[in-house]
Amino acid sequence: MENLTIQQLLDAQFFVSKHSPVLKPFDGSFIVADPSLLTPDKCHDKKWHMFFHTNFGVYHAESTDGIDFSKKKKILKRAMRPNINYIDGTYYLFYERTRPLIANALNVVNILKWNSEIYVTESKDLINWSEPQPVLKNTKDFEISPRGTALSNPFLIQENGRNRLYYSCGMTYIDDCKFCEPTHINFAESENITSGYVSAEKPLISPDKNNPYLNLCSGCLKVYKLKDGYVGVQNGIYEKDGKSHSAIFLMTSTDGLSFTFSKMLIEPMVVDGKDWMKQFVYASHLVKQNNTLRLYFNARDISNPIRGRECIGFAEAHI
């Protein structure tokens, strides 16, 4: 991304691919969500690799074209919202580590409080993974909510010799969905990739009742360093006409810490008669392959917690 300019991102027009969704729920899960990808130029085998989660943990799938993903394999239990990175010959997979499945279910019905932290595991070949280690735990009051403590949606960038980990925190209950979404977005920094992170004292982004796309809670943020600054790709959770929604928008920044809303990227819609992204478009990952940008994201058709389903697809823009 660092060879692109902010203006190029502002000029890019994203269109949902006709191939979407590329992953649908499987093996009894209601969801496939939070895609994080490696493009062929960042992989030893020159393939696309996607990491994502279902109701049962974090999975890994591979592809030759970034469309047809096969060999879906669970690599982590008690895990969701992964972020894959390739740095100096090592793959680092950050993720939200939860309690066991039964404890998560009890939280949904508000019997047991949620508790999650950010962990990391390492690999040299995307097959063998190290024992997961804790990276970031709760240290701030704003990370705590009446329903529990959640640190989620890790996203790593390296900045001036330091490692900056963006993450979501807090829990806001969404009435029509009957589950929680992240309240705030914050960041932590360390000189080491896998340890020593210190969180900022105040959230980077919080809900804003006056912002039509951020009036419920903050969702997640992915930040990319460009030639002349930074862009943030965020999905805010918002209420409109009595229903909750999520949309993906682009923000710009000079320092990666203070962001300004710039344009909408993907809003809920029915595409080519498919209603898989009718009410929500959620967490995304922006990747570049040659002269094409792909924005992978997960989406939900309806808010109903029983009948709603989440799939993964992508939108493309040519630059």
- Report the number of distinct structural domains present in the chain: 1
Say if 1 falls within a structural domain. no
pTM score, whole prediction: 0.96
101, 109 Cβ separation under 8 angstroms: no
Would you say 197 and 167 are in contact if contact means Cβ atoms under 8 Å apart?
A: no
Instruction: Answer for the pair 146, 172: CB distance below 8 angstroms, yes or no.
Output: no
pLDDT tens-digit profile, the chain (319 residues): 889 999 999 999 999 999 999 999 999 999 999 999 999 999 999 999 999 999 999 999 999 999 999 889 999 999 999 999 999 999 999 999 997 766 555 556 566 788 999 999 999 999 999 999 999 999 999 999 999 999 999 999 998 889 999 999 999 999 999 999 999 999 999 999 999 999 999 999 999 999 999 999 999 999 999 999 999 999 999 999 999 999 999 999 999 999 999 999 999 999 999 999 999 999 999 999 989 999 999 999 999 999 999 999 999 999 9
- Domain range for residue 311? 6-318
- Residue 262 domain-assigned? yes
Cis peptide before 305 (omega within 30 of 0): no
Cβ atoms of 317 and 13 closer than 8 Å: yes
Q: What CATH number did the domain enclosing 151 receive?
A: 2.115.10.20
Per DSSP, the three-state class of 291 is coil
